[in-house]
Structure 1
Amino acid sequence: MVRGNYASTCIMLHFNTLENTPLPVICTVFNEAFSDYMVPIHLTMPLLEQKLQGENISLAHSLGAFDGASLVGLILHGTDDWRRPQLLYNGGTGVIPSHRGQRLVQQLYGRYIPQFKTQGVAQLLLEVISTNTPAIKAYRHCGFTQSRFFHCYKGQPAPQRVREDLTLRQDLLPDWPLLSSFGSQQPSWANSIASIQRESTDTATWLAYQQDTLVGFISIYRGTKRIRQLGVHPDHRRQGIASALLQHAVKEYHGPFSFVNITDDNKGLQAFLEKNGFTLTVQQYEMKLMC
């Protein structure tokens, strides 16, 4: 667990972790920091709580910049292990407009990365919109390097005829090790199996069977209609199974749907989404820092 309260070079500013900061304060500051963001983001308290759960955010590993008693900037960190993490995922970095231009992100990481390293953290991970040049420069200054390039989509698939010889069943406890072999890429943090399992009560996973053979699946976060994973067994691809799964999602949840963080080399999934009415909305870099 990371703790500490460090005086910074900026008068009245100090840094600390967020485990003693009330969630309503974090929610308010997050929304103010993202009020003029290039992609609109506004969290209610239920949405913040869902984010904390789904991304496994640890406030003891999340960082805050304070002006006196007021939180003015933050970095939310998810962990791969609650007690002794080896990987931290940046689930959101924000500074309120009145306190920008003071390199608070660099200062926060500069203070805490050495502590993270001594406590066993080996890697930090984040995602940043590809056109957010100031943020990319700040992260590079901290030591992050680009690892993957993501495409994010949103769309309303039009109804269409699909295969009728498939049986679709919802499964609350699917065989995730088996389903992981159906994917066409390594999922990003928020779409990972671990994240889906943490949010199992809010995520619907439908399996497609051809006779008695499991051939595909789709997993959707119901509240936001975000497709988290869509996979087809390698031996059964290009046979209309993904289309049948997507059309079933349209029937159950209507849409529109989003599907984020498709890797740049996953051309097949990109083409499938565009064919089915999805539009590219934003692109992101995944960036890593090895401690």
Structure 2
Amino acid sequence: MITYKPLSELPIREVSELWNLSFEGYMVNASMPLDRFIARIGNEGLCLERSLACYVDGVPAGIVMNSFRLDDGARNGGTAIAPDFRGKGIGKSMMEKNDALYKEQGVRRAYLEAISTNTAAIRLYESVGYEIIDRLLIMTNEQSLESQDQQNASTPFTLVRGLAAEAATADFYRSGEVWQTDAASIKDGECVLVYEGEELVGYGLFKRAFDAAGRLQAITLFRCEAAPDYRDAQAVLKAAVLEMMQPGSTCKRSAFNIRASHKELVDVLEALGFASSMEQVLMVRDYNAT
């Protein structure tokens, strides 16, 4: 017998243990200690009251975690099944239960990401109405950007750094379909605003990580946009990327969940030595017609 409980009815340690159990042996290690799990709930706006614990005959069997927006959108922030219950149809039951929850909440559009090689999960999501709308690239740079250090010195743009939330001052900023790369989702994130004269023509969202001594360890780019129809979008993107990536600094550099359809940005990153190290698919289900 399959039953469900809202995660909010469980002690947080049990929720964390269920997450780790459900992702055991997964193709990417998603397990995490309790403190990181709690931080993830806050960082990604996950809603325990509207997320699910799945039980089979009273035994913990799986988890679905959700986040919601005021615009009636939802994101599946993690679905997994405990090893002993895989291959037994539990996933279909979980997704159908989550589908009913979304309908109760008046969700109009739901999103999720899946590793592109996880064909079983993708088939499951497609079976309940999701479709792939894009590929998401996780890119890393193993090269030095030292040789690029002087390129922004001659740029026609003015580059201004700020907090990630300040990117919303751009008229062309929109909350995107890739929730984790939105300004609101990047805790302690930063932005670069690109101006031509007094006109804002682009922005980038990124985050820096430091060690206990304050030394820069890593830079992650989440999003970079040029104003629509700007005459040289690649120049704007390149200037923003170079400003975010701090050429000359020694650190890890990556770009997270970059849409493959954003070809201009992908081309800029590849020209700077970034290469895709993992790929996800972005999937959506539209509830407007249901």
TM-score range, shorter chain: 0.7 to 0.9
Cα 1:180–1:34, aligned 2, differ >3 Å: closer, same or farther?
A: farther
Q: CA deviation at 1:107?
A: 0.8
Match of residue 240 from structure 2: 245
Q: CA deviation at 1:211?
A: 5.0
1:178-257 pair list within 5 angstroms: 178=170, 180-181=172-173, 186=176, 188-196=178-186, 199=187, 202-223=188-209, 225-233=219-227, 234-239=230-235, 241-251=236-246, 254-257=250-253
1:160-175 pair list within 5 angstroms: 160=148, 161-165=150-154, 166-172=157-163, 173-175=165-167
Cα 1:140–1:205, aligned 2, differ >3 Å: closer, same or farther?
A: same
Match of 1:64 among 31, 46, 53: 53
Match of residue 212 from structure 2: none
Structure 2 residue runs of 5 or longer lacking an equivalent are: 210-217
Match of residue 25 from structure 1: 14
Q: Would you say 1:104 and 2:90 are equivalent positions?
A: yes
Cα 1:180–1:155, aligned 2, differ >3 Å: closer, same or farther?
A: farther
TM-score (norm 2): 0.80
1:41-60 pair list within 5 angstroms: 41-60=30-49
Cα 1:225–1:163, aligned 2, differ >3 Å: closer, same or farther?
A: closer
Cα 1:254–1:98, aligned 2, differ >3 Å: closer, same or farther?
A: farther
Q: Would you say 1:124 and 2:110 are equivalent positions?
A: yes
Q: CA deviation at 1:63?
A: 1.2
- In structure 1, how many angstroms separate the alpha carbons of the residues matched to 2:76 and 2:57? 25
CA contact (8 A) 1:167 1:208 kept: yes
TM-score (norm 1): 0.79
Structure 1 residue runs of 5 or longer lacking an equivalent are: 1-6, 9-13
Match of residue 214 from structure 2: none
Cα 1:69–1:170, aligned 2, differ >3 Å: closer, same or farther?
A: farther
3-state DSSP of counterpart to 1:163: helix
Q: Would you say 1:288 and 2:279 are equivalent positions?
A: no
- In structure 2, how many angstroms separate the alpha carbons of the residues matched to 1:248 and 1:46? 32
Q: CA deviation at 1:179?
A: 5.8
- In structure 1, how many angstroms separate the alpha carbons of the residues matched to 2:280 and 2:94? 23
- In structure 2, how many angstroms separate the alpha carbons of the residues matched to 1:27 and 1:107? 22
- In structure 1, how many angstroms separate the alpha carbons of the residues matched to 2:52 and 2:251? 35
CA contact (8 A) 1:109 1:142 kept: yes
3-state DSSP of counterpart to 1:174: helix
- In structure 2, how many angstroms separate the alpha carbons of the residues matched to 1:176 and 1:80? 16
Q: CA deviation at 1:78?
A: 0.9
- In structure 2, how many angstroms separate the alpha carbons of the residues matched to 1:86 and 1:40? 31
The alignment-based identity, stated in percent, is 23
**Structure 1 range deviating more: 249-258 or 130-139:** 249-258
- In structure 1, how many angstroms separate the alpha carbons of the residues matched to 2:78 and 2:195? 38
The aligned amino acid for 1:285 is V
CA contact (8 A) 1:171 1:206 kept: yes
**Structure 1 range deviating more: 92-101 or 260-269:** 260-269
CA contact (8 A) 1:208 1:217 kept: yes
**Structure 1 range deviating more: 20-29 or 91-100:** 20-29
Per-residue CA distance 1:58-105 (angstroms, 9 max, x = gap): 111111112566533101111013xxx722201111112122122222
Q: CA deviation at 1:284?
A: 2.1
Match of residue 86 from structure 1: 72
CA contact (8 A) 1:179 1:217 kept: no
Q: CA deviation at 1:126?
A: 0.9
Cα 1:264–1:220, aligned 2, differ >3 Å: closer, same or farther?
A: closer
- In structure 1, how many angstroms separate the alpha carbons of the residues matched to 2:115 and 2:93? 21
Aligned residues: 270
3-state DSSP of counterpart to 1:262: strand
The aligned amino acid for 1:259 is A
Q: Would you say 1:134 and 2:152 are equivalent positions?
A: no
3-state DSSP of counterpart to 1:180: coil
